[in-house]
Structure 1
Amino acid sequence: MRAFFISLDQQIAKGMGKWGVPTIRFSFAVIFFWFGILKPFGLSAAEGLLKATVAWLPFGDPEWWLVVIGWWEVVIGITFLFKRTTRIAIGLLFLQMLGTFMPLVFLPEITFQNGNYLLPTMEGQYITKNLMILSAAMVVWGSMYVKERSAKLQ
């Protein structure tokens, strides 16, 4: 019986190993395209937070930034669809994430409850979950390097 579960575990792990990274790339494509395309049309639930975050920037008004960031995210989503452009997608994603975390620093009254940094608001939780996005992007990029490296060694 134990041998059966070990074999089953190995088969599941093999499938996850094969499909894990493509699934992450597809998920990134859907999420970034979907959430990004909402912004230029004024339909994003994150619009208020985004505008409050960029209001202090010395150029471009919040409406302009909403459109730019929205299309930036659409491009991230599209570039995740293709293996050849995945590194570009990840580079764009890392740049986008710099801005995404800004409200935690510049708008703590919106991202934390009563100034308590251990109690994020819904917006704070929305931002903090991006740590998983960064981690998944690192896994995708790292797996590309490992595959390329092993192909060169063969």
Structure 2
Amino acid sequence: MSIKSFNAIDNSLSKMMRKFGKPALQFSLAIIFVWFGALKPLGLSPAEGLLKETVSWMPFGKPHVWLHIIGYWEICIGVFFLFKKTYRIAIGLLFLQMVGTFMPLFFLPDVTFQNGNPLLLTLEGQYIIKNVLIISAALVLGGDLYKRRLY
């Protein structure tokens, strides 16, 4: 294969990725949040125990109530990611939700880290840290919301 052929294929693939990348991010975030969110009020989420343990200190609302609230909150995030006009709402709700998502790293280190070592994550810790990628995806989508005006 010649360099010209390789570059042509590479450019074609790059163009396709530009075209489909952001819609794929949008749809992926919607799927993740609707799916994971729906599992919570149905009592089917593998994160239920971690979530309930994380919110047990809250002065109002019982853990099972918070499970439902957070589940519906996540469903809303997912639905709002389906439409570009509602990205701002989705991103705002996502960043508020992420504050709570990272709380176990600080309040439940025995659950999120192996032997107290912050470099050795448990499965729960990995589940939480992967949200850095979700935050990054939301930033990529949010970056399209503001278009600089040229005068």
Does TM, normalized by the shorter one, top 0.5?
A: yes
Give the match's secondary structure for 1:117: strand
Paired position in structure 2 for 1:100: 101
Distance 1:9-1:78 versus aligned 2 partners, 3 A rule: same
One-letter amino acid of the structure 2 residue matched with residue 121 of structure 1: T
* Cα distance in 1 for residues equivalent to 2:5 and 2:73: 48
The number of residues matched between the two structures is 150
Q: Does 1:35 align with 2:36?
A: yes
Paired position in structure 1 for 2:80: 79
Cα distance, 1:136 vs structure 2? 0.8
Cα distance, 1:153 vs structure 2? 4.3
* Cα distance in 2 for residues equivalent to 1:87 and 1:18: 21
Paired position in structure 2 for 1:25: 26
Give the match's secondary structure for 2:118: strand
One-letter amino acid of the structure 2 residue matched with residue 55 of structure 1: S
Cα distance, 1:143 vs structure 2? 2.6
Give the match's secondary structure for 2:119: strand
Paired position in structure 1 for 2:90: 89
* Cα distance in 1 for residues equivalent to 2:11 and 2:94: 33
Cα distance, 1:131 vs structure 2? 0.5
Distance 1:3-1:144 versus aligned 2 partners, 3 A rule: farther
Structure 1 regions of 5+ residues with no counterpart? none
State TM-score, norm by structure 2.
0.95
Paired position in structure 2 for 1:5: 6
* Cα distance in 1 for residues equivalent to 2:8 and 2:62: 58
Identity %: 61
Give the match's secondary structure for 1:40: coil
Trace 1:61-140 onto structure 2 (pairs within 5 A): 61-140=62-141
Q: Deviations over 1:116-150 (max 9, x none)?
A: 111000000000000000111111111332xx33x
* Cα distance in 1 for residues equivalent to 2:7 and 2:131: 34
Could you list the structure 1 runs, at least 4 aligned residues long, displaced by more than 2 angstroms after superposition.
Answer: none
Structure 2 regions of 5+ residues with no counterpart? none
**Greater fraction helix:** 1
CA-atom RMSD, angstroms?
Answer: 1.2
State TM-score, norm by structure 1.
0.94
* Cα distance in 2 for residues equivalent to 1:129 and 1:22: 20
* Cα distance in 2 for residues equivalent to 1:78 and 1:11: 32
